Amino acid sequence: MAGTPNVRLSLSNRAENVLLVRQALTGLAEAVGLDPIALNDVSTAVTEACNNVVLHAYSGGEGPFEVELTTSSSGLDAMVRDHGSGILPGVTATEEVTGGIGLPVIQALSDSVEFRDVPGGGTEVAMHFEAAFTDPLEECESDDGAELAAIDHTTPGDVTLMTVGPTSVARGVVPRVLSTLAARAYFSTDRISDTQLVADALVAHTDGSMSAGHLSVGVSVAPRHLEIRIGPLQTGRAGALFGDTAMDGLGPVLERLTDGHEVSAAGSAEMLDVKLAQRS
């Protein structure tokens, strides 16, 4: 793949997390102006690669997998990586996989596909799709500083980690993913809308305050609760989003829609932790 991924997702291989991948892909497609017909082909192939991880990578158990989406002048690259058994032993790209529409579909819908072993165990499915974008992005430079530190949660739950950039992509991806997770947390329709408003506001107002070229977001999901960590932001900017001097009156809006926030140091930058809960 060329450049740093525009979207990087770290998930568990729960079946419901495939929807998060599809939402992220849709948000990226909107940002770059990918044709809807082409998006359908890409989404089908990427979904099948993810389903293979859900069904086969961990022998019915739970384990991690990552998805990376990258645009370039030649099209879109998608990589799905697991750390389990990956592609079933003895299965090749020309054979059918029981329980899915099959690896041949991935091969048919992508312009090229590679199946690579992961050091320590696992498989990478690297797909390339030739595509023209009406709003192409500049290729991202390497950005190691955008990695999100592990999130420490006192309540066990489903944790989603993603790194997204540039801001135009984050605007399409982050609200979609957070709204989907809010529904998973059994939020009401109104509270899901609040979650999307918070996501829209945070992404819109972190442009120019990122300490790195990408925005990292971590979300912990529990019934009726979301915990969101977002950053890295320049020192002083995270607190300013909620302060009296917040731009465009954002501070009071965030205070009203959220259920608490904290600012923590992350090296020379800051991370913003925001809590959302279902309200009666």
Question: Which one, of 104, 46, 52, lies nearest residue 78 by Cα?
Answer: 46
Q: Across the chain, what does the average pLDDT equal?
A: 83
What pLDDT digit, counting tens, does each position of 211-265 carry? Answer: 456 888 999 999 999 999 988 887 887 777 777 555 566 788 888 999 999 988 8
The predicted structure's pLDDT at residue 95: 47
The H or E element containing residue 263 is strand 261-266
The predicted structure's pLDDT at residue 59: 86
Contacts of 24 by beta carbon, 8 Å cutoff, 6+ apart: 7, 9, 67, 69, 162, 164, 173, 176, 177
Domains of the chain: 7-130 (3.30.565.10), 144-277 (3.30.565.10)
The predicted structure's pLDDT at residue 178: 97
What pLDDT digit, counting tens, does each position of 136-193 carry? Answer: 886 555 444 444 444 443 444 567 889 898 888 999 999 999 999 999 999 999 999 9
Distance of alpha carbon 68 from alpha carbon 5, whole angstroms: 6
What pLDDT digit, counting tens, does each position of 63-120 carry? Answer: 999 999 999 988 999 999 999 976 554 454 444 444 444 678 898 999 999 989 889 8
- DSSP state letter for 34: B
Helix (H, G, I), strand (E, B) or coil at 235: coil
